[in-house]
Amino acid sequence: MHSLSTNAMSHFTHNPLLVSILFILPWISSCTKDPVDQPEGNGDPVDTLPEYSILPHTDWEQYANNPVLQPTENEGDWDENMTSAPFVILLRDTLRMWYEGSTSVKLDGVIQIGYAWSLDGIEWNRLDAPVLEAIPDSWAYPHMASPVVLEDGDTLRMWFGGGDYTSVGMVIGYAASLDGIHWTRHDAPVISRTKDWNTGGVLPGPVMKEDGVYKMWFTGGTGHVGYPNSSTSWSTGYATSEDGVQWTVNDEPVLEHGMNAEFDENSALAGSVIRSDTLYEMWYSGFRGIGQGSSIGVAVSEDGINWERYEGNPVMNKSLISDALYNPRVIIFEGGYQMWYSAWHPGPTIHHAIAIN
């Protein structure tokens, strides 16, 4: 593994009081009746990234009344038994979440993608129906999962996992929308199982657009990621694209499993990446074996390809109310780092935490 500079590592080995300088768009409306306002402007999102000094963000406080979004438990609802894999963005004054839901707590049911919105990240309003449904006899059936959304000028772009978790594995699809609710799907997968290390499937990870290039930290591997066991080996890969559809995939993972036998022995799956002026910071979930559950760690990189893990990982571990933590999504909101993530409580639910350093 490549080592980072002394400057990068100092973010983990020291804890100075740093001041974050955030340029946040004005709050335009406090109304929650209209779930989505169409984004304005055609600028490259990288032009509006806040400038701030990246902090260690290794200490997190889990919300005392988790979960913040859970299955409805109403018979017949499309997400009556599963709410998982949240992806949250701040669009104008409102937090928008896309998540996967199902009538089944296991993988024997259809998984689809839903939408919810919130002003504070705790109280969420959800649509009654999925915004992306699994279509029978399509390549993305019966599981549409792990949505990732990027605001790109007037367009919201989504990458999602499609296929069957339980058999041939998953591939990555793409869709676009103007309002976050009505989506136009691309007719074929955009990233498939093309490398020796991801023959068991691929799932989308965080996407960033810099200098007109889309960058994705996707996940892939061998073995069953839906029900991981001792033969599961999943890592984080890297791909770039000019249009979000045609991708060039690196031959090898950029964050491999197995670097920490106590945390990510079997899997290291990127959930969120934030960019400062000098560093990329990644939150990812690690899995270490049957009965051990999964936890959340952090790593930093100067180029998005060579990553250095925090020596004190995991930064968030299972608790009395959750046996497994995964799918971390981190954004800057109300002047600090906040996270939404999946937890097993006792089934798949969505939880919240705030960085306290």
- In whole angstroms, give the CA distance from residue 176 to residue 238: 21
Whole-number pLDDT of residue 202: 96
Whole-number pLDDT of residue 167: 79
**What residue ranges do the domains of the chain occupy?**
6-12+59-355
Whole-number pLDDT of residue 146: 97
Whole-number pLDDT of residue 230: 66
60 touches 315 (CB < 8 A): yes
CATH number assigned to the domain with residue range 6-12+59-355, chosen from the 4 options 2.102.10.10, 2.115.10.20, 2.40.100.10, 3.40.30.10: 2.115.10.20
Q: Burial level of 268, CB count in 10 A (0-12/13-18/19+)? A: buried
With CA atoms as reference, report the closest residue to 297 among 318, 279, 312: 312
339 touches 60 (CB < 8 A): yes
Beta-strand relationship, 233-236 and 202-203: unpaired
Q: Burial level of 330, CB count in 10 A (0-12/13-18/19+)? A: buried
Mean pLDDT for each consecutive 10-residue tract of the chain (357 residues)? Answer: 48 40 32 41 42 63 94 95 97 96 92 98 98 96 97 98 88 98 98 92 97 97 73 92 98 90 89 90 85 85 94 84 87 95 89 92
Whole-number pLDDT of residue 8: 52
Question: Which two structure tokens, joined as six digits, stand for 243?
Answer: 């249009």
Name the DSSP class of 316.
B
Whole-number pLDDT of residue 40: 41
